[in-house]
Amino acid sequence: MASQLLDDFKNGLWNENPIFRLVIGMCPTLAVTNTTENGLAMGIATSFVLISSEIVISLIKKLIPKNVRIPSYILIIATFVTFTDYFLKAFYPGIAASLSLFIPLIVVNCLILGRQEAFASRNPVHRAIADGLGMGIGFTWALTLLGAVRELFGMGSIFGFQILGAWYKPMIIMVLPAGAFITLGILVGIMNLISREG
């Protein structure tokens, strides 16, 4: 029982990491990871929506008729996303300004709908929480890492602190969308290499 929960949790961290393994939720992945801070904030916001909606959907799964499950899930997800949007605007205006449109777009992040369909609607609530936590943290660390690599090479800094000196000429492509594809490809490659050897 406890080991099953642990497996559900660890699943999202590495084996089925949403970004590096399942390769879903690419819209925010590619768009907002131009700085470390944006990547981290986006990861946390998405995790909150993911965990909350997995809990609710797992609890009411028996009440929702099969034919309208997708619209029901979207309504529930959209409620949590709107909540997050207002909350960030009210209490973290800086983060809200830098993520702007990408917060409302969490609604259509296929990671969230995908987990409802694949997990929360089929499993009891405690397993849904473990899955949401694991997937959320997996998504967050992946976005933060992408953001850190892009910010380091694109601007010479991490979390806004200048790491590389004035001698470093920033590779502007890294903070542009193309840099996201390049970084993602290289990181997926590295992850596959680690998994094969391990």
Partner 1 sequence: MEKESIGRLVLTLTIIGIISALTLAFVYQWTTPYIKEHQAVAQEKAVFNVLPGAEKFEEVTKNGHTFYEGYNNAGSRVGVAYIATGGGFQGQIELMIGVNLNEEKIYGISILTHSETPGLGARITEDAYKSNFVNKPFGDYTVVKREAAEQTEVEAISGATISSEKVTTIIENAVSTIQSAYGGGM
* Contact present, 72 and 184 (Cβ < 8 Å): no
Among 2, 3, 91, 196, binds partner 1 (CB under 8 A): 91
Which residue bears the tokens 């976005």?
143
Taking CA atoms, 119 is separated from 8, 32, 79, 82, 83, in Å, by: 10, 27, 20, 23, 23
Give 91-122 as a DSSP string.
H-HHHHHHHGGGTGGGGG-HHHHHHIIIIITT
User: Binding to partner 1 by residue 70, rule CB under 8 A?
Assistant: no
Give the binding range for partner 1 (CB under 8 A) out of 70-78, 105-113, 135-143, 182-190: 70-78
User: Binding to partner 1 by residue 175, rule CB under 8 A?
Assistant: yes
User: Binding to partner 1 by residue 161, rule CB under 8 A?
Assistant: no
Window 36 to 55, contacts with partner 1 (CB under 8 A): none
For the bound state, the minimum distance from the C-beta of residue 15 to partner 1, rounded and expressed in Å, comes to: 32
Residue 195 to residue 131: CA distance in whole angstroms: 21
Minimum CB distance to partner 1 smaller for 79 or for 188: 79
Residue 192 to residue 49: CA distance in whole angstroms: 29
User: Binding to partner 1 by residue 169, rule CB under 8 A?
Assistant: no
Residues found near partner 1 in the complex (CB under 8 A)? 34-35, 63-68, 71-72, 75-76, 78-79, 82-83, 86-87, 89-91, 93, 97, 100-101, 154-155, 170, 172, 175-176
